[in-house]
Structure 1
């Protein structure tokens, strides 16, 4: 695997995006949450960073006229759209379902929910806001170019 600049750029962007979620959360929300390193969602989108770095690195190595760039660009478009579309809405649905469960328990109208299998909470942080995907995309491009300069590709 080593030395594959394209793959290394994508992995590096993904790992760094996950790592910087913790200090960003600390700065913006005044909350220390190291579990963010291993979670989905949050600022920046590591999914967007991953595919943006992959696509940028391919553009730098093979050129924007290459078939590999076209494939990577299409893949990146789907991943980024999914991160801020379908996955974000699934997270919003989870939040509403969790609130509904809480409300039913508070009011005592939860006869069906006495079974523990109905009391499972859903994960709410699944997708990304558009700003998080935008920042992740820019971060991935930045990492691919910077790493390319460091290893002499650019």
Structure 2
């Protein structure tokens, strides 16, 4: 029980988890508003608006800044990881999603010659705006709850 209480009372765990949850919930709401459909797969899927990866890691960085200060080693490490995660979301994973889209189109256009049962996942990364909005959400949640 002591272990569970320690986890629950650790803001560097609970705040990022809440930021992730809220970002994922916002994705479901965005799909509901734009397409008038409830798509719960958006709750666990990657990609979309806002970036839950960015919200998670930036809220952690914000909480670390509040607890340890911006002059701490812990803040520096957290900031470095945040920048890597956001770069990956808007760079590498976004490029992989674009490649998957092109490959899916290519396979579909030659479906009589190519045997491929599974469509590649296209929504992997984020636009820079989605990453920015996830980071902003992370800062706000980190300030509010941290």
Shared fold (TM-score, shorter chain, > 0.5): yes
Larger gyration radius, structure 1 or structure 2 = 1
| Counterpart in the other structure of 2:42 | 36
| Counterpart in the other structure of 2:3 | none
Once residues 11 and 97 of structure 1 are traced to their aligned partners in structure 2, the CA distance between those partners, rounded to angstroms, is 34
Query: Secondary structure at the residue paired with 1:81?
Result: helix
Deviation string, structure 1 residues 18-62 (Cα, Å, up to 9, x no partner) = 111111122234443121001000100000000000000000110
| Counterpart in the other structure of 1:21 | 27
Name segments (4+ residues, structure 1) moved above 3 Å.
Answer: 28-31
Once residues 128 and 40 of structure 2 are traced to their aligned partners in structure 1, the CA distance between those partners, rounded to angstroms, is 23
TM-score by length of 2: 0.91
Q: How many residues align?
A: 140
Once residues 59 and 18 of structure 1 are traced to their aligned partners in structure 2, the CA distance between those partners, rounded to angstroms, is 24
Measured on the aligned residues, the alpha-carbon RMSD in Å equals 1.2
The equivalences for 1:105-120 within 5 A come to: 105=111, 108=112, 110=113, 113-114=114-115, 118-120=116-118
Unaligned residue ranges in structure 1 (runs of 5+) = 149-154
1:139 aligned onto 2:137: yes
